Amino acid sequence: MLFHSLEFAFFIPVVFALYWLAGRGGSAAQNAVAVAASAVFYGWWDVRFLVLIAASTAIDYAVGRGLKTASGTLHRKLLLALSIVVNLGLLGFFKYANFFIVEFTEAFSLFGRQLEPRTLSIILPVGISFYTFQTLSYSIDVYRRRLEPTHDPVAFAAFVTFFPQLVAGPIERATKLLPQFAVVRRFNRDEAIDGLRQILWGLFKKLVIADNAARHADMIFNYSDAFSGSTLLLGSFFFAFQIYGDFSGYSDMAIGTARLFGIQLSQNFNFPYFSRDVAEFWRRWHISLSTWFRDYLYIPLGGSRGSRWQTVRNTFAIFIVSGFWHGANLTFIAWGALHALYFLPLQLTKRNRRYLGERAADRSIPALRQLVSMASTFTLVVLAWVLFRAKNIAHATSIFTEMASASLFTEPIFPNRRHAFYTGLLILLFLGMEWIGRHNRYAIETTAFSKHRFIRYGLYYTLLLIILAFGCFSGNAFIYFQF
C-alpha cells in the first residue's frame, strides 16, 4: 500500500479513528491497533512477507528477554550473535544471495572454469533492509545495556512494524521509539495539524518533483547510448531530484503520518542539497542510516581514533557497506567508494566538521563563497548518482565517458523537452521553498512562513492545486522500497 494511493486514503481514516478510540483502553489497545494496521499495510504487498517480519520480531523480542536474564558473558554474546545471524541472514539471503552466486561463478571463469550461474527465484520482501536494522539496533543496545529490554511483546511488535516507517524508514532506535509505545498517546491537535502539513509537503515532493523528474531521468539513463554528454548530465540532475524528492518525500509522509498517531520519528533529511561539502551532505542525507552505521559499525571499528591507516580503512568500510546496503550491485559499492574518496581528504585534513552551523544563518541569500561550495558539492553528489542509477559499472563508465567528451558542450536533445522545461521550473520553485524553509525540520513548517492564516492557507491550497495539476497519479512506487 503506497502513501499516495487510493487504498491508503481509505485505510488511514479508519486506522486513525480506531487508534484514538482504542486510547480509552490504554497503551496496550493502541499498540494492538497499530500492530493490526501495520499487518494489513504490509500484507497488502504480499501476505507471505508477514511471516518473515513476525519471525524477526519474535526472535529479537526473545533475545531481548534472554539478555535480561542471562548472566554470563558467553551466554549474552551467543544471544546477540543469534540476533545478528538471523537478521543479517534474512537480509543476506533475500537481498544478496543471487548477487554472490553470480559474482562467484564469474570469479571462477577467471580461472578458466565456465560455470552457469543458477540463481534463486527470490522475491525481495519490501522494507527488509529497514526493519532488520531497526530490530538489530534493539538487540545491540540491550546487549550494551543501553536499553532495558521490553516485557511487552505487543509494544515491541508495534516498534518493529509501525506502518508509517516500516518499509522505508526512518530507521528508528529502540531507545527513542520503544518508550513511546509504553505510554498512552494523547491526541494533540497541533501535532496532528503539523503532521498533515508534513504529509502535504511529502506528497508535493513525491508526486510533483520526483515523479516528473523520473520521466526524464528514466528515459535518459535507460537509453543512454542515444544521448550526448550534455543530455546525460541533465539526466543525472533530474535523477538527483527524483531520488531526493522520492525518498525525502516518503520520509516526510512517514513522519507526518506517525505524528497523526502521536508518535515522533527522527528527521531523515535536512536539506542535503544545500550542503557546503560532502561531509555536511552526509550529516543531512538519510540521517537515520548514516547514524546507524556510525554507531554500530564505524565507532566499534575505532572511528577516527586510531592511526591514519585505520581511519582510512574505517571510512571506506562505512561508505562501502552503506553503498552495498542499498542493493546487490557493484554500482552501489562503487557509489559508496566514490563518496569515501570525496570524504577522506576532508577527514584527513580535519576539515570534515567545518560546516556544523546553519547555511547563511542570518541572511536570505548565501554569500558567493557559500554558493560556490554548495554548487560544487551538489555537482559532486550528482556525478556520484550516475553510479547509483546505472545498470552496471560498464553502463556508468560509458555515461562518464560521454560526459567527458565534447558532446558535453552541445545542446541537450531528448524527447519531451517541453515537459522537462516545466519540470525544471517546478524544481526551481521547490528549491526556492526549501531554501526559505531550511531552518526547519521540513520546508513548510509553520515558522518559516507568515503566521497570517490567509497566507498560510493560501500556500497550502496552492501546493494542493500544483499537486492536482502537475502530480503523477500513475501509482509509481518509491525508489527506496527496493532497498
Partner 1 sequence: MMPRFVKQLALFLLPLGLVLAGVNYIGDAAKLFTDGYEASIAELMTQGHHVTQLSDYNDRRLQIELVKRRSTGPQIAVIGSSRAMLLNEHHFYPSSTFNHSVYAATWTDLLSLFKLLRAHNQLPDTLIIGIDPWTFNPSHLHAHTHTWLEFESDGSYVQRAPSFNTLWERWSSLFSPSYFQASMEEIPKRISGDDVPLPVNERYNAKRTRCSDGSLTYDTIFGDTDTLLVLDRVQLFLRGPLYGMKGYTTTDKEGFSAMQEMVLTAHDQGVYPIVFFAPVAPQVHARLAREYPIALNNEQRFRDWAVEKGIEVRGSFNPYHSGISIRHFYDGIHMNETGVSVFFTPRD
Instruction: Just list the catalytic residues.
Output: 326
Q: How many CB atoms lie within 10 A of CB 40?
A: 15
User: Would you say 100 or 187 has its CB closer to partner 1?
Assistant: 187
DSSP for residue 407 = G
The grid cell for 87 is 537478521
Q: Which residues bind partner 1 (CB under 8 A)?
A: 20, 187-189, 192-193, 196, 214-215, 218-219, 222-223, 226, 414-416, 457, 460-461, 464-465, 467-469, 471, 473-477
Q: What torsion, rounded to 10 degrees, do the Cα atoms 68, 71, 77, 82 define?
A: -50
Q: 472 near 211, Cβ under 8 Å?
A: yes
Closest separation between CB of residue 275 and partner 1, Å? 30
User: Would you say 147 or 260 has its CB closer to partner 1?
Assistant: 260
User: Would you say 375 or 468 has its CB closer to partner 1?
Assistant: 468
Closest separation between CB of residue 126 and partner 1, Å? 15
The grid cell for 202 is 511529502
Closest separation between CB of residue 306 and partner 1, Å? 47
Rounded CA gap, 55 and 87, in Å?
A: 10
Closest separation between CB of residue 182 and partner 1, Å? 22
User: Would you say 188 or 392 has its CB closer to partner 1?
Assistant: 188
Q: 197 near 460, Cβ under 8 Å?
A: yes
User: Would you say 302 or 458 has its CB closer to partner 1?
Assistant: 458
Q: Which amino acid is at 15?
A: V
**111 contacts: CB under 8 Å, gap ≥ 6:** none
DSSP for residue 416 = -
Residue with cell 548514516: 290
Closest separation between CB of residue 35 and partner 1, Å? 22
User: Would you say 364 or 474 has its CB closer to partner 1?
Assistant: 474
Closest separation between CB of residue 459 and partner 1, Å? 13
Task: State phi, psi for 412 to the nearest 5 degrees.
Answer: -70, 125
Q: 139 near 83, Cβ under 8 Å?
A: yes
Rounded CA gap, 419 and 424, in Å?
A: 9
Closest separation between CB of residue 217 and partner 1, Å? 10
CA 453 vs CA 133, 196, 203, 444: distances in Å: 42, 16, 22, 14
* Among 252, 465, 440, 258, residue whose Cα is nearest residue 457: 465
* Among 258, 159, 248, residue whose Cα is nearest residue 206: 248
Rounded CA gap, 216 and 223, in Å?
A: 11
Give CB contacts under 8 A, 24+ apart, made by 393-399: 393/330, 393/331, 393/334, 395/224, 395/331, 396/331, 396/334, 398/224, 398/225, 399/221, 399/224, 399/232, 399/236
User: Would you say 93 or 187 has its CB closer to partner 1?
Assistant: 187
